[in-house]
Amino acid sequence: LTLGEGSTVVTVPDETVPAELKVGVGVVSFDIDGTLESGDPPGPITLGFIYGLRARGFIIGTCSDRTPREQLSIWQQLGVTPDFVARKTELAAVRARFVAHSYVHVGDTIVDQSFARQAQFDFWWPWDVQLDNPEDWPAAPM
């Protein structure tokens, strides 16, 4: 996959990518299948919502059981360059890569919830995300 010049995409872990830290308002990691509307099965999180987070300065990406290559392909189809893609078990590595005030993982299974807890991410079910009020989210993570 061609990621584009100046891309901030990092595949975690990836020894070939410089390990410089990126600073953002917060890190929001999404599961894909059952979580994103482009997942299989589709989930409730819309592309517009992700655009909104990006515009507010959030670091966004996916942590999924899909391979990093598949995740990048999905992002490319959406026309979005994510800040990271990682395997579901690598949330802790994502946390180590970015400096932010908050770290959130959104997923539709208790496996997501478990890995989020291990990596000290706040966890949200996708159906609890306030899609209609994105400016306030994630003010009060569950």
Partner 1 sequence: MVRCPLKDQVAIVGVGSTGYGRDLGRTSASLAIDACQSAIRDAGLEPRDISGICDLTWNVNPRSMYMQMALGIPECTWFADHDGSTPVTHCLGLAVNAIFSGSADIVLMYHSLYRLPSLSLSAARDPFRVRADETSGFAGVPLRPHADVPGLHAGYVGLMSRYLYESKGGREDFGYFVINARTNAVENPLAVMRSPISMEDYLSARMVDDPMCLLDMDIPVDGADAFVLTTVDRARDLPHKPVVVHSISDGRINVPELNLERMGQNLAVRSMWQRSDVRLEDIDVFLPYDGYSFSGVMWLEDVGYCDRGEGGAFMREHWSESQRRILINGKIPVNSHGGALGEGGSQGAGQLREAVVQLRGDAGVRQVQGASTALATSGTFNQNPNGVIFRSVS
Closest by CA to 134, choosing from 31, 32, 26, 62, is 26
Minimum CB–partner distance for residue 42 and partner 1 (Å): 8
> Cβ closer to partner 1: 34 or 52?
34
Closest distance of CB 99 from partner 1, Å: 26
HEC profile for 47-108? HHHHHHHHHCCCEEEEEECCCHHHHHHHHHHHCCCCCEEEEHHHHHHHHHHEEEEEEEEECC
In the complex, the smallest distance separating the C-beta of residue 113 from partner 1, rounded to whole angstroms, is 10
Beta carbon of residue 101, minimum distance to partner 1 (angstroms, whole number): 28
Residues that bind partner 1 (CB under 8 A): 33-34, 40-42, 65, 67, 69-70, 73, 87-89, 108-111, 127
15: three-class secondary structure by DSSP: coil
Collapse the DSSP code of 11 into the 3-class scheme (helix H, G, I; strand E, B; otherwise coil) and give the result. strand
Closer Cβ to partner 1, 65 or 122, answer by number:
65
Q: Which is nearer to partner 1, 1 or 23 (CB)?
A: 1
